[in-house]
Amino acid sequence: MENNYMLFHPKPFFNKKLHFILSLILIILIPLITSAAEKDQERWNKHYDIEGFLFGTEPIQFLKENIHLLPKNKVLDLAMGEGRNGVYLATQGFDVLGLDISPTGLNKANQLAEHHNVKIKTQVVDLERYQLTKNFYDVILCTYYMQRDLFKQIKDSLKPGGMVLIETYNTDYLQYARFPKKYLLEHNELLEIFKEFKIIRYQAYDDGKEAYSSIIAQKLPL
């Protein structure tokens, strides 16, 4: 006995209605997203628009102590700011691209590079909407910037054998300062995130004034 099934085909009315609703949602959301990025950019531009450098011109100690471990080629410096780490890498022969939402910060990074007679590349981007190039970088650097959905992109963007260097505040920092907890690392979080990488260096540091975690991890060859 042959079974007959009725196939449901949405009527044009419903398709038009769904399209209208989706369009309305986009009309509402896109300005909000853009506005948030613009406010973030404005806030950081104000922070960096000062005499001198907000965070100084010296690289973080963890980078200086371990630079000999990093493969010397293409470096991506995420949330570069005024460039203290990226410019230091450039002085050591690395090819550096720095990304940041603040053109004011990146202008100062370029000034710092010029002062040291080196060249860097910079690009103003919103990292919350930017897509990193896959399998492209030998080193990815991210210091004192927390965006958890970037971690997967960082892994994908590294070449096999490439290394990531991350340092930022952890939850112990709340003992010394008020700080949004969502931007703080949990204990051993970096070790868990990069568990499929080879851990080259790791530290959880607390000097009674600040508390942060640092890692260098290597993407294993395919």
Q: What is the CATH number of the domain that holds 87?
A: 3.40.50.150
Ramachandran region, residue 83 (left: φ > 0; alpha: ψ -120 to 50; beta: rest): left
Q: What pLDDT, on a 0 to 100 scale, did the predictor assign at position 154?
A: 98
In a domain, 22, yes or no: no
Residue 48 counted as domain residue: no
**Tokens 């370029």, residue located:** 110
Taking every pair of Cα atoms in the chain, the longest distance, rounded to a whole number of angstroms, is 86
Q: Which tens digit of pLDDT belongs to each residue from 171-204?
A: 999 999 999 999 999 999 999 999 999 999 999 9
Position 46 in a domain: no
**pLDDT given for residue 27 in this prediction:** 56
**pLDDT tens digit sequence for 26-84:** 554 445 445 678 888 888 688 788 888 888 799 999 999 999 999 999 999 999 999 99
Q: What is the pLDDT of residue 63?
A: 98
Structural domains counted in the chain: 1
Q: Which residue has the higher pLDDT, 116 or 13?
A: 116
pLDDT digits (tens, 9 = 90+) for 140-177: 999 999 999 999 999 999 999 999 999 999 999 999 99
Contacts of 7 (CB under 8 A, 6+ apart): none
174-178-184-185 Cα dihedral, nearest 10 degrees: -10
d(CA 222, CA 201): 21
Answer whether residue 190 is part of any domain.
yes
**Any domain includes 13:** no
* Mean pLDDT, rounded, for 105-116: 97
Domain contains 23:
no
Domain of 105 in residue numbering reads as 61-218
> Given pLDDT bands bounded at 50, 70 and 90, which one contains residue 1?
very low
Is 119 domain-assigned? yes
Q: Which of 1-10, 15-24, 87-96, 198-207 has the lowest mean pLDDT?
A: 1-10
pTM for this structure? 0.82
How high is the pLDDT of residue 4? 45
The predicted pLDDT at position 85 comes to 98
pLDDT given at position 2? 42
Residue 19 belongs to some domain of the structure: no
